[in-house]
Amino acid sequence: MEGQSVCVVLTAPERWTTAYILHIYPTSTITVIVPRAKMSFALRAARPAFSRAGFALQRRTILTLKDHKYTAHATAQGSGRNGSVSSPDGPGLSVTLALPKALGGTGEGHNPEQLFAMGYASCFLGALQLVASKSSSSSASAAKDAKVHAQVHIGEPNGKPGFGLSVEITVEGISDEALVKAAHETCPYSRALSLGADVKVSLK
């Protein structure tokens, strides 16, 4: 078990609810999905074994929204990552997609990772400027001219089939680490990745 931590995720079929994280060693995670109807039973059954092994059980609640201030819409069609995606919101936006050459594609179009990186970078910069405006005037001035660089990596995840994502955010023009940390805790994109997001999938 060395080098592992176990994450027990308790969930209902319609949405994520509560995650119980068992810290063994601070590296990779193993996720166990338990139906909501059996959530209490699973937790009661697991807790004594965890305690005997000397492990700490920590409760984590997935982030949900109490209201919707704005909703963006997008529709993908065609050949998936080689198709197209569009949004009717505002002035409208239409993007032709193509797999990058690194994934065996032509690279003659944009890809979801680019769009995600652009959205994350702009959102993080907005969060940075927001928290800076509530700090000193020098921080607000520095944040105004700051740049946020986002790298979104796609590759094979540890312990699961298919693909997964990881993100690197680099802030240029700011030397205050506490300010950047506050921006990370404030940014909705950072919150979605670190705290989870309520995702509903349905048929139309």
| Local structure of residue 7 (DSSP, 8 states) | E
- Return the amino acid letter for 161: P
**How far, in Å, CA of 63 to CA of 65, rounded?**
7
Non-local CB neighbours of 80 within 8 Å, separated by 6+ positions: 97
The per-residue DSSP string of 85-134 comes to EEE-STT-EEEEB---GGGTS---SB-HHHHHHHHHHHHHHHHHHHHHHT
Q: List the pLDDT tens digit at each of the 204 positions of the chain.
A: 344 444 444 444 444 444 444 444 344 444 454 455 555 565 566 566 555 555 555 555 789 999 999 999 999 999 999 999 999 999 999 999 999 999 999 999 999 999 999 999 999 999 999 999 998 888 889 999 999 999 999 999 999 999 999 999 999 999 999 999 999 999 999 999 999 999 999 999
Q: Which residue, among 19, 33, 28, 21, has the nearest Cα to 158 in the 3D structure?
A: 28
Q: Which residue has the tokens 């166990």?
A: 32
**For 159-168, how does the pLDDT look when each residue is reduced to its tens digit (9 = 90+)?**
999 999 999 9
Q: What pLDDT, on a 0 to 100 scale, did the predictor assign at position 99?
A: 97
Q: What distance in Å separates the CA atoms of residue 6 and residue 19, rounded to the nearest whole number?
A: 11
Element (H, E) at 51: helix 39-52
Q: What is the pLDDT of residue 41?
A: 60
* End-to-end CA gap in the chain: 45
Q: Six-digit token pair at 182? A: 């506050």
d(CA 28, CA 180) in angstroms, rounded, equals: 25
The single-letter code of the amino acid at 135 is: S
Kindly list the structural domains of the chain, giving each domain's residue range(s) and its CATH number in brackets, ordered by start. Answer: 4-61 (no CATH), 111-195 (3.30.300.20)
pLDDT tens digits, one per residue of 38-54: 555 655 665 665 555 55
Interatomic CA distance for residues 151 and 117, integer angstroms:
6
